[in-house]
Amino acid sequence: MTPDREGLGRTDMRDTNGANGGRGKKPAVLPGGEALFPSAGRGEENRVTRLSASGLAVLEACLGRDAVSIDELVRRSPRRQAVARASLSRTLRRLWRAGLVELLNDWGDTLTEYYAAIDNKLAAQERDPDAAFAVVLDAVRRGAPGFFPYTTAADWIEDQRRAAAKLKRSKPTRTVCLTAQGRELVERLISRRREVNRSEHIA
């Protein structure tokens, strides 16, 4: 099951539909280092995402490296650490949602795998809440430790949804690395930028 990346909340990555959309299109480099590139397969053929200068900076920092620590990326920022960390967190989540980077914890577990495990467990419970609730209730009656305040399957499954959302918000990440799509994009943008600089120099 594909992990629900949209569960992370709002993003200020703006999506547009227009002539530049569509898969297989090369990104258009914009003033200020921004770029337009096809989204990472959300079923919308003409969907295009705007990559910010801060997002591009993260991709460039990761290029040619297995992984980069989030602390290192924070230290690169001229902002105060607390502000830089909050801003970087938003940038990384947007890049992750777009399929350009992978986020990992200290043990090398990826955010994608973590989300998939949560979503798969919840999906299994939601397929038959009554049966899943009966199994849990039977374990409680057999003496499994822990407080169990639920009397109906509906109350229990709703709490499972809240717990899944809380687990997603609490996932700690320590390092970031490029996906194949992210590596291809940043290499293409760097190549395009070199071509532009070469043309300006010749002119």
What CATH number has the domain bearing residue 60? 1.10.10.10
Model pLDDT, residue 1: 60
Would you say residue 124 lies in a domain? yes
Report residue 170's pLDDT band, with 50, 70 and 90 as the boundaries.
Answer: confident
Give the number of other Cβ atoms within 10 Å of residue 49's Cβ.
24
> Do 117 and 67 fall into the same domain?
no
> Do 48 and 86 fall into the same domain?
yes
The count of domains in the chain is: 2
> Do 22 and 37 fall into the same domain?
yes
Q: What is the percent of the chain where pLDDT is above 90?
A: 49
> Do 94 and 138 fall into the same domain?
no
> Do 77 and 177 fall into the same domain?
yes
> Do 27 and 64 fall into the same domain?
yes
- What does each C-alpha distance from 103 to 29, 41, 72, 175 come to in angstroms? 26, 19, 14, 6
> Do 52 and 140 fall into the same domain?
no
- What does each C-alpha distance from 171 to 28, 58, 85, 167, 186 come to in angstroms? 34, 20, 15, 6, 27
Report residue 4's pLDDT band, with 50, 70 and 90 as the boundaries.
Answer: low
Confirm if 176 and 108 have CB atoms less than 8 A apart: no
pTM metric for this prediction: 0.67
Range of the domain at 58: 5-106+172-195
Model pLDDT, residue 34: 46
Of 50 and 164, which is predicted with more confidence? Answer: 164
64-68, 135-139, 180-184, range with the lowest pLDDT = 135-139
CA 134-136-137 angle, 5° bins: 60
Report residue 165's pLDDT band, with 50, 70 and 90 as the boundaries.
Answer: very high
Would you say residue 75 lies in a domain? yes
Would you say residue 81 lies in a domain? yes
Would you say residue 200 lies in a domain? no
Mean pLDDT in residue range 88-106: 92
